[in-house]
Amino acid sequence: DKDNLKISKASGKIHINNNWTAAKSGGICTGNGTYSEPYIIEDLVIDAGGPGSCIWIENSDVYFRIENCTLSNSELSYPHAGTRLYNVDKWTLIDNNCSSNYYGIYLDASDNNTILRNNISYNANIGLYLYSSYKNTISGNNASTNRYYGFYFYYSNYNNISVNNANYNNNRGIYTYYCDNSIILGNTIKNNG
């Protein structure tokens, strides 16, 4: 979809707590947070180097997108991740590589979001973990070779989980616990523990 191939640039860890204006003025993102012009974080390589999460966004209800980023080496303990999201709505996570973290992608109390075509592999715990998160679309992702689960949904209802790959994880490919009224359709799940 891009006219020119962009070269990713290295970045430090990002933490946004509903302070998008400061993030934009600091050069972290572009856009305005609207449906037609969401805030965009893109083309970054973030190595957390051990402590914390690569990208941590919380308490946000504006539109934003994280795209084409490589996120690795978060802190190897709960709840750190390549992408950690708490109490956020209306965002899209697309075409990212979230590998070699504790969680690849971690959502808590986050609704009405889209997670599309991400590589979520070789993480020390779970590839993609949703806790108490509703009405999300998870499609076209690859969650493979994670230490425990590829996808783990806990108290998360009304989600659409379709056309994902969950292969070679040491425990289950896709695991749901107290999840109601979700669609799980057309996924490839093989060679898991």
Express each pLDDT in 71-106 by its tens digit.
999 999 999 999 999 999 999 999 999 999 999 999
Helix (H) or strand (E) holding 20: helix 20-25
Q: How far apart are CA 149 and CA 170, in angstroms?
A: 7
* Residue 193 CB partners (closer than 8 Å, separation 6+): 169, 170, 171, 172
Per the DSSP assignment, residues forming a β-bridge with 1 are none
- Whether residue 28 is predicted with pLDDT greater than 70 in this model: the reply is yes
In contact, 33 and 41? CB cutoff 8 Å: no
DSSP 8-state assignment for residue 1: -
pLDDT in tens, 116-165: 999 999 999 999 999 999 999 999 999 999 999 999 999 999 999 999 99
> Is 58's pLDDT higher than 80?
yes
The answer, yes or no, to whether residue 1 has pLDDT greater than 50, is no
Which residues are CB-contacts of 21 (< 8 A; sequence separation ≥ 6)?
Answer: none
Q: What is the pTM of this model?
A: 0.94
Instruction: Classify residue 34 as exposed, middle or buried by CB count within 10 Å of its CB (0-12, 13-18, 19+).
Output: exposed
Q: Three-class SS of residue 150?
A: strand
Spatial distance between the Cα atoms of 185 and 164, rounded to a whole number of angstroms: 9
126 sits in which H/E element = strand 126-131
